[in-house]
Amino acid sequence: MIAIALQSGSNGNCLYVESGSVKLLFDAGISGLQAQRRLEALGRDIRDVQAVILSHDHSDHVRCAGVFHRKFGLPVLATEKTLAAARRRATLGALGDVATFRAGQTLRFGAVSVETLPTPHDGVDGVAFVVDSGHARLGILTDLGHVFDALGEAVASLDAVFLESNYDPRMLETGPYPLFLQQRIRGPGGHISNYESAELLAQRASSRMKWACLAHLSEQNNEPALARRTHETILRGKLPLHVASRYHPTGPLEL
Ligand SMILES: [Zn+2]
Ligand SMILES: [Zn+2]
């Protein structure tokens, strides 16, 4: 299995995964042109993708789903509530080929299954993902709200993970965000911090985990080097780390 974070952060999320002939996109928060060009630069054709699966209704995840669908013919998969809320937040336009799933349901694409894990994030019906090729399990775990039991269980089962590491608590507290926004981010429906992410990996990642890629970093309340340092301090070399960029593709990462 190969994964590429085409972009990761509140400015737009889109992640590509391939396993054999199965090619999937997770979220459509960057422009169709950007997604196409970034994949092309890495030798991939967006038109070969079988589906774009949406995690939740926030615009950094759904903004361009309509374009992905109309321009490249990609079927869109989302829960009914996510789809309805996404239409309220963004102009998705005509979607001729939408399949809905229930949060918690497992989706199948040939030999690959995609487990959907309901999250307590403050979207209407958010899910995180575990992609299982039959040989390896990849977590796509962002916009988590807080660390919850099923999240720990998922992490313990993985061979690699994109894990939210959204903010540094001190930068959030001393940064430019108004108090209500700070409270939302560190509250139970917001995002998880560098420390929470690192502790989760320290406690739950098993010896089978090959790497962790820190994802959905905040622009204002985090820095890639700081997120990495926090993880290195807590994990003490337990596993290789990558940091997904807000501006360019990260990967291909193999597992
Ligand atoms: Zn997000
Ligand atoms: Zn979100």
Dist. CA 21 → ligand 2 center (Å): 30
Ligand nearest to the CA of 13: 1
Dist. CA 34 → ligand 2 center (Å): 21
Structural domains present in the chain: 2-248 (3.60.15.10)
Ligand nearest to the CA of 57: 2
Burial code of 47-70, b = ≥16 C-beta within 10 A, e = fewer? eebbbbbbbbbbebbbbbbbbbbb
Distance (Å, whole) CA 24 – CA 97 = 15
Dist. CA 58 → ligand 1 center (Å): 6
Contacts with 243 (C-beta within 8 Å, 6 or more apart), sequence order: 165, 213, 214, 217, 224, 227, 228, 250
Residue 237: how many other CB atoms lie within 10 Å: 7
Residue 119: beta bridge partners? none
Dist. CA 142 → ligand 1 center (Å): 7
* Amino acid at residue number 190: G
Dist. CA 60 → ligand 1 center (Å): 5
Show pLDDT as tens, one digit a residue, over the chain (255 residues): 999 999 999 999 999 999 999 999 999 999 999 999 999 999 999 999 999 999 999 999 999 999 999 999 999 999 999 999 999 988 888 888 789 999 999 999 999 999 999 999 999 999 999 999 999 999 999 999 999 999 999 999 999 999 999 999 999 999 999 999 999 999 999 999 999 999 999 999 999 999 999 999 999 999 999 999 999 999 999 999 999 999 999 999 999
Enter the pTM of the model: 0.97
Dist. CA 7 → ligand 2 center (Å): 14
For the beta sheet containing 106-109, the strands, ordered from the edge strand earlier in sequence to the opposite edge, are 106-109, 112-118, 127-132, 137-141, 160-164, 211-215, 241-243
Residue 11: how many other CB atoms lie within 10 Å: 12
